[in-house]
Structure 1
Amino acid sequence: MRRIALAPLALVAVLLGPQPASAADGPGWEPAPSAPWDVAAGVRCDFPVHGEPVVDEVVRRVLSTYPDGSARRVAYKGDLVIRVTNTGTGATHDADASGSAVVEYRRDGSQRWAVHGPVFVGVGEGGGTLPRGLYIIDGVYTMDIGATGYKSVHLVHGSTDDLCARIG
């Protein structure tokens, strides 16, 4: 696991603001389930991978919308554990991705994530500031996802856990 500290933790309050303690707090929270997925060998890891939520209590709340009613800023929180499987060998790892995030969805298709805690991130070859792979990124950070899908992760304080190495 790699640890990086780049800036003061005070940025957390600025980026995320106050977060409700549970999904039952306040109106407007709705389920945001994750679907199972598969990627071929070489796409994220050197081998084929299957991912499936084994715990999925993620909820979302729309914080602001564009004039047409589409979501502009959305908060996400809740327990999420994804079982990541090397389908070639059967090796598995249950990855805790139970962080919280506020995501800004931009008109050009890009996104800005302000994150606290662990979130699951997949990166393709040449597709981000991290090497190709599957990661749990934990800590306080932002992630910009360009309109082309390029992911720039900016850790304030945190760590990356290489899931391909865990199940390879």
Structure 2
Amino acid sequence: MRLMRKLGVALAAAALVAAVPAPASAASDDIAPGAWEPAPQGGFELPAGARCDFAVQVEPTVDEVRKLTLSTYPDGSPRREIYAGDLIDRVTNLETGATSTADASGTAMIDYGTDGSMTWYVTGPVLIGFRENGGNLPKGLWIIDGQFVLQFSATGQRTLTMLHGTTHNVCTDVD
């Protein structure tokens, strides 16, 4: 029942995201508290064995992700945020040069714990890496699509609770 209540909050947040337009662009100095702001995702490289059996690079080709801070802790750090916007990543096998694109344009409401933990309530696709023995999915770079909750412990352990959707290991696309 608790999961259903939290999912209801996530779906309400997704509806809010759809109803509130993100700004076309804004410099960070021009952003008022509580306003949508750019949230660039940036690229990264991982060595062989970290997520895929080979070295991999993930680079956004489209990054229109924005975030809205809904609440903060007394020190000003975020307590709850919503992330939304188009994000298309190019995934490259650095050993063979094989590439694939991954649509990670989901909407997520994220609750941040004071201990470094996070809980994501997600609708739509996201690209998430799981390390060996790092959660309840095998090692890989996963497109998780649908409606789900993803919990990150303070130590980085990841627990996926899928309400409805699919998982796909992008490592297999560039192997």
| Fold match (TM-score > 0.5) | yes
- Distance, in Å, in 2 between the alignment partners of 1:148 and 1:49 is 23
After TM superposition, list the pairs within 5 Å mapping 1:92-103 onto structure 2: 92-103=99-110
Letter of the 1:47 partner, please give it: F
Match of 2:17 in 1: 20
- Distance, in Å, in 2 between the alignment partners of 1:77 and 1:60 is 6
- Within the candidate set 129, 138, 141, 2:136 is matched to 129
Contact 1:9-1:156 within 8 A present in 2 as well: no
Letter of the 1:74 partner, please give it: E
- Distance, in Å, in 1 between the alignment partners of 2:151 and 2:145 is 16
Deviation at 1:122, TM superposition (A): 0.2
Letter of the 1:132 partner, please give it: K
- Distance, in Å, in 1 between the alignment partners of 2:9 and 2:61 is 32
Do structure 1's residue 73 and structure 2's residue 80 form an aligned pair?
yes
Q: Once superposed, what is the RMSD of the aligned Cα atoms?
A: 1.8
Gaps of 5+ in 1: 1-7
Match of 2:145 in 1: 138
Contact 2:10-2:108 within 8 A present in 1 as well: no
Report how many aligned residue pairs link the two structures. Answer: 160
After TM superposition, list the pairs within 5 Å mapping 1:79-98 onto structure 2: 79-98=86-105
Match of 2:115 in 1: 108
Question: Going by fraction, where is helix more abundant, 1 or 2?
Answer: 2
Deviations 1:9-33 (A, max 9, x none): 88643333132224149x6000000
Contact 1:85-1:91 within 8 A present in 2 as well: yes
Aligned identity (percent) is 49
Question: Going by fraction, where is strand more abundant, 1 or 2?
Answer: 1
Contact 2:23-2:37 within 8 A present in 1 as well: no
Letter of the 1:123 partner, please give it: F
Contact 1:128-1:151 within 8 A present in 2 as well: yes
Deviations 1:51-83 (A, max 9, x none): 100000000010000111110001000000010
Match of 1:32 in 2: 39
Point out which structure has higher relative CO (alpha carbons under 8 A, 6+ apart).
1
- Distance, in Å, in 1 between the alignment partners of 2:117 and 2:170 is 25
